[in-house]
């Protein structure tokens, strides 16, 4: 990976981690160590969220979509553009969530596109917050230095960003 790809991947994974943590989903670890994906292919990094431990939210499905989109959105704040190729797996998962949400009305492409755009806009809005930006930057810097960051470190950086406001 080039330095630019490494930095973009670090911001991408940090975006997932910060959004997951902010929505009450405990993060187990975040890494920019490349590896194999479950169904073939290679991933550049990963944000592992702890299973079974979530806080109640109003809309679990939307939260899942926003966590998935947060990587691409955080990366775009760093690079200035969306990297849909790097977020392809996340985007496929978001599309499945949108299909699930729309159910039998999925045949309406405009409605499908509007839902995904609304989720992307909401993700941008949330991640534009100064606290989230700091936490993402600090986690990305730590990932670049150490390659893997624990969930405990994610919580620490998020809390530090919150205190520095």
The set of catalytic residues is 13
CA angle, corner 40, sides to 99 and 75, nearest 5?
65
What end-to-end distance do the CA atoms of the chain give, in Å? 34
């Amino acid at each position: 990976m080039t330095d630019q790809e490494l930095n973009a991947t670090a911001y991408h994974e940090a975006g997932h981690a910060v959004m997951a943590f902010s929505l009450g989903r405990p993060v187990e670890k975040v890494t920019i160590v490349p590896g194999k994906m479950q169904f073939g292919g290679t991933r550049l990094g990963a944000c592992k969220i702890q299973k079974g431990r979530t806080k109640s939210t109003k809309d679990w499905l939307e939260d899942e979509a926003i966590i998935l989109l947060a990587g691409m959105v955080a990366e775009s704040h760093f690079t200035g553009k969306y990297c849909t190729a790097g977020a392809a797996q996340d985007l496929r998962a978001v599309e499945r969530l949108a299909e699930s949400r729309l159910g039998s009305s999925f045949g309406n492409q405009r409605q499908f596109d509007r839902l995904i755009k609304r989720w992307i806009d909401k993700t941008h809005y949330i991640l534009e917050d100064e606290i989230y930006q700091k936490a993402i930057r600090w986690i990305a810097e730590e990932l670049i230095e150490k390659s893997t960051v624990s969930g405990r470190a994610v919580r620490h950086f998020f809390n530090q960003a919150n205190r520095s406001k």
